[in-house]
Amino acid sequence: MAGLIGRLRRAAAASTELLDVIIDRDPSIRSRSEALLHPTVLALAGYRVGNRLYRKERFKSARAVCMLTRVLTGGIEIHPGARIGRRFFIDHGCGVVIGETAIIGDDVSLFHQVTLGSYGWWQDRGRADGRRHPKLGNGVTVGANASLLGPITVGDNALIGAQSLVLQDVPADAHVRAPAGDVVHRTSNTVVRLPRAS
């Protein structure tokens, strides 16, 4: 009985921590009760159930939980084999894909349309540890519509900008930026490029 009570206390503490992370990172959320409705909560609940089944080698059941969670969250697909640290946050969520061998550290934030996928696995089966997907260090933020592909490593506190395509390792504290769009003024058939903001 003491073991069950201990597990329940740890689960309650983890749930409270997750709700506080959502309130902290999403300014539109004002309370824990509102945070309960955030897609991160359901996505991580489904992932945790699927991951437990996956570790018990109940792969079909784990995949079924993954697929159901994807439908219920509007498109957050976290493979049950992925490894996810504490205080993980997904903002908006639709179109997020996290592959089977992805490793995500603590305090990581992902925005919508982020892919942590594999690349060229048919040519190179990954690194010695069998990884095909990215490994994100602690405190990493990945902007909307970014794709991180292959067995790359992103160092602690790195910032991956929106629409970035990342195919190589990123050092800690680095900022990866996609090309910024040009602002143009169009008159008749002439396009004039306006200066970029600094």
The two three-digit tokens of residue 133, written as one number: 């997907």
- Sheet with strand 135-136: strands edge to edge: 83-84, 103-104, 135-136, 153-154
**Mean pLDDT of all residues in 131-140:** 96
Phi, psi of 112, deg, nearest 5: -65, 155
What percent of the chain clears pLDDT 70, i.e. is strictly above it?
80
In contact, 93 and 73? CB cutoff 8 Å: yes
Q: pTM for the whole thing?
A: 0.85
User: For residue 118, what are its two tokens?
Assistant: 């594999």
Over range 96-105, report the average pLDDT.
97
| Partners of 135 in the β-ladder | 103, 153
How far apart, in whole angstroms, are the C-alpha atoms of residue 29 and residue 126? Answer: 40
With H, G, I as helix, E, B as strand and everything else as coil, classify residue 33: helix
> Nearest CA to 37 among 52, 23, 49?
23
Q: Is the pLDDT assigned to residue 55 strictly greater than 80?
A: yes
Residue 91, both tokens: 């903002």
- What structural domains does the chain harbor? 75-176 (2.160.10.10)
The per-residue pLDDT for 20 is: 93
